[in-house]
C-alpha cells in the first residue's frame, strides 16, 4: 500500500497531469491488478480513457462509454462510488483492458472524480482479477484519491479555459489595432487622392494665371486666359473642400451618435451628386445592435458606397439594412462595371501598404464583430457587398 503523499506529489507537478503515472499509483496503492482513469469529454456525454495501467498500447483509445450507461457511466452520472464482484463487462475492448478471457470475471471498484460538488470530471476504475474483492475501506480510499485527481483535472481545465480566453482576447486586440491601422491608411489615402492632388493642380492653375497676366500681348486676351485658369482653380478649391469634408466625415461618427444607425446610413446616400443611391430598410431603428457593431456597420457601408462612387461607374446603387431572423443584414449593391475579386485580392496582398485597403479593412471589421462577409462581383453586371451580423 502506498501513501497518499505519493499521489499528492504527482498532482503537484505543473503542466498536464501525468495520467499513466496516476493510473499506476492507483493500481499499487489499492493492491489491484490494474486501473483505468476515465475522463468526461467537454460535452459531458462520454467517458474516454485518459490512462490505463498496465499500458494497453493504444487499445484504450477504442473504449468510449456514454455517461449514464453501464456501471462506469452510471457512476459518472450519479456521482456515487460502487464496488462490483464477479463483474464481466460485455464490451470487448473493456474486457481486454481488464485482461479478461471470455470465461473470467473481475472485482471492480469505480469512484467518481469530482471537480466541484456538482461537477464530475472523470471516473477511476480499479480491478482485481481472481477472488479477492474490494472492501468498504478500499472504496473510501479510492474515493479520496478520485477526488484529489478530480480537483486537479478541474483546475487544469479551468487554466486551459483561461489561456484560451486570453489568446482570443489578444487576437481581438490585434485585429482591432490592425483595423485602426487600416483606417489611418484609408484617411491618409483619401487625403492623398483628393485633397493633395486637388491642391497641387490648384497651385498649377494659379501660377499659369499669374504667368499669363505678366506676359506680353493684348490685355483682353491675357485677362481672358487668366480667368479660365482662375475658374479652374476655383473648381479645384471647391473639390478640395469637399474632399476634406469627406475625409473628416470618415473620421468621426457624430452622425451615427446623433441620428442612430438607420438614419446615419440613409445620410450616406447623399455623398455624391452624380449618383443616385436608393436606401431601403424595413426597420425604423435597430435597438438591439450594440453601439460598437453599429459603428462598424456604418463604416462598412461608408466604404462600400465610396467604392461605388469611385470605381463602379454605376447608374443605380442600393444600400439596404434588413432583419433576417436573428441577424441584421447590410448590403451595398450596384449595377456598375464590377471587378475581378481574385485579382483584387492578389493585388491587395502584393502592396500590403498599398492604396487599396478598403475591402481588407471591411473584412477585418467583419471579423471583429463576428459578422460574415460576402462579396459578389460580375464584370459588367455590378457588385454586391453583403454583411450579416448575428445578434
For residue 106, the partner it binds in Mg ion, ligand ADP, none, with Cβ less than 5 to 8 A by kind, is none
User: At 304, phi and psi to the nearest 5?
Assistant: -60, -45
> Element (H or E) spanning 112, and its range?
strand 106-116
Choosing among ligand ADP, Mg ion, none, which partner's interface includes residue 311 (Cβ < 5 to 8 Å by kind)?
A: ligand ADP
| Nearest distance from C-beta of residue 213 to ligand ADP, angstroms | 39
First to last CA, the chain: 58
SS3 string, 59-86, reads HHHHCEEECCCHHHHHHHHHCCCEEEEE
Among 358, 362, 364, 369, binds Mg ion (CB under 5 A): 358
Contact status: 336 vs ligand ADP (CB under 6 A): yes
Give min distance, CB of 314 to ligand ADP, in A: 7
* Contact between residue 369 and residue 391 where contact means Cβ atoms under 8 Å apart: no
* Stretch 188-207 residues interacting with ligand ADP (CB under 6 A): 189
**Which residues, 288 to 307, sit near ligand ADP by CB under 6 A?**
307
Residue 356 in contact with ligand ADP, rule: CB under 6 A: yes
What residues pair up with 109 in beta bridges, in sequence order? 83, 126
Please, what is the minimum distance in Å from the beta carbon of residue 228 to Mg ion?
33
Parallel, antiparallel, or unpaired for β 106-116 and 82-87?
A: antiparallel
Residues touching ligand ADP: how many (CB under 6 A)?
18
CA distances from 316 to 32, 78, 95, 219, 301 (A): 81, 66, 73, 48, 16
Would you give the distance in Å from CA 210 to the centre of its chain? 59
3-class SS of residue 334: strand
- Report the C-alpha gap between 138 and 136 in whole angstroms: 5
Of the candidates 307, 333, 360, 377, which one interacts with Mg ion according to CB under 5 A?
307
Determine the Cα–Cα distance for residues 268 and 277; give it in Å rounded to an integer. Answer: 9
- Looking at the Cβ atoms of 259 and 271, the one nearer to ligand ADP is 271
Looking at the Cβ atoms of 150 and 338, the one nearer to ligand ADP is 338
Residue 137 in grid coordinates: 475501506
337 touches ligand ADP (CB under 6 A): yes
Q: Shortest Cβ contact with ligand ADP: which residue?
A: 358
DSSP for 279-319 reads EEES-S--SSS-HHHHHHHHHHHHHHHHHIIIII--SEEEE
Q: Stretches 85-93, 103-111, 302-310, 340-348: which one binds Mg ion (CB under 5 A)?
A: 302-310
Using CB under 6 A, which of the segments 26-34, 108-116, 202-210, 335-343 binds ligand ADP?
A: 335-343
**Strand, coil or helix: 276:** strand
Q: Which stretch binds ligand ADP (CB under 6 A): 26-34, 35-43, 292-300, 357-365?
A: 357-365
For residue 356, the minimal CB distance to ligand ADP (Å) is 3
The CB-of-279 to Mg ion minimum distance in angstroms stands at: 20
HEC string of 135-186? CHHHHHHHHHHHHHHHHHHHHHHHHHHHHHHHHHHHHHHHHHHHHHHHHHHH
Q: Which of 52, 65, 264, 312 binds ligand ADP (CB under 6 A)?
A: 312
Q: How far is the CB of 371 from Mg ion (least distance, A)?
A: 18
Report the partner that residue 339 touches, choosing among ligand ADP, Mg ion, none (CB closer than 5 to 8 A by kind): ligand ADP
Residues that bind ligand ADP (CB under 6 A): 189, 307-308, 310-312, 334, 336-339, 344, 355-359, 383
Residues that bind Mg ion (CB under 5 A): 307, 358
Amino acid at each position: 500500500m502506498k501513501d497518499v503523499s505519493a499521489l499528492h506529489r504527482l498532482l503537484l507537478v505543473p503542466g498536464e497531469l501525468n495520467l499513466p503515472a496516476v493510473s499506476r499509483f492507483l493500481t499499487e496503492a489499492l493492491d489491484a491488478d490494474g486501473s483505468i482513469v476515465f475522463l468526461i469529454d467537454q460535452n459531458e456525454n462520454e467517458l474516454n480513457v485518459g490512462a490505463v495501467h498496465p499500458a494497453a498500447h493504444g487499445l484504450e483509445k477504442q473504449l468510449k462509454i456514454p455517461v449514464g450507461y453501464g456501471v462506469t457511466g452510471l457512476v459518472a452520472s450519479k456521482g456515487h462510488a460502487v464496488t462490483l464482484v464477479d463483474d464481466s463487462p460485455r464490451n470487448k475492448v473493456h474486457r481486454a483492458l481488464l485482461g479478461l478471457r471470455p470465461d473470467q470475471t473481475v472485482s471492480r471498484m469505480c469512484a467518481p472524480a469530482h471537480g466541484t460538488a456538482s461537477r464530475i470530471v472523470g471516473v477511476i476504475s480499479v480491478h482485481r482479477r481472481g477472488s479477492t474483492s474490494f472492501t468498504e475501506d478500499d472504496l473510501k480510499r479510492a474515493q479520496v484519491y478520485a477526488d484529489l485527481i478530480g480537483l486537479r483535472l478541474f483546475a487544469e481545465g479551468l487554466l486551459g479555459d483561461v489561456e484560451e480566453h486570453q489568446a482570443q482576447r489578444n487576437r481581438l486586440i490585434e485585429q482591432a489595432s490592425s483595423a485602426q491601422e487600416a483606417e489611418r491608411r484609408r484617411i491618409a489615402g483619401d487625403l492623398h487622392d483628393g485633397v493633395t492632388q486637388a491642391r497641387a493642380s490648384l497651385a498649377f492653375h494659379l501660377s499659369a494665371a499669374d504667368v499669363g497676366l505678366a506676359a506680353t500681348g493684348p490685355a483682353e486676351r491675357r485677362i481672358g486666359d487668366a480667368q479660365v485658369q482662375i475658374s479652374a482653380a476655383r473648381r479645384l478649391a471647391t473639390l478640395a473642400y469637399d474632399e476634406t469634408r469627406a475625409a473628416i466625415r470618415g473620421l468621426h461618427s457624430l452622425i451615427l451618435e446623433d441620428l442612430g444607425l438607420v438614419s446615419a446610413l440613409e445620410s450616406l446616400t447623399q455623398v455624391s451628386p452624380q449618383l443616385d443611391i436608393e436606401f431601403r430598410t424595413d426597420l425604423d431603428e435597430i435597438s438591439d445592435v450594440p453601439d460598437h457593431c453599429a459603428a462598424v456597420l456604418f463604416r462598412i457601408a461608408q466604404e462600400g458606397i465610396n467604392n461605388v462612387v469611385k470605381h463602379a461607374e454605376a447608374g443605380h446603387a442600393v444600400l439596404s439594412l434588413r432583419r433576417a431572423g436573428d441577424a441584421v443584414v447590410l448590403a451595398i449593391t450596384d449595377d456598375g462595371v464590377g471587378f475581378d475579386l481574385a485579382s483584387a485580392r492578389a493585388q491587395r496582398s502584393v502592396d500590403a501598404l498599398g492604396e487599396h485597403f478598403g475591402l481588407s479593412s471591411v473584412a477585418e471589421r467583419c471579423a471583429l464583430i463576428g459578422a460574415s462577409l460576402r462579396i459578389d462581383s460580375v464584370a459588367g453586371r455590378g457588385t454586391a457587398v453583403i454583411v450579416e451580423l448575428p445578434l
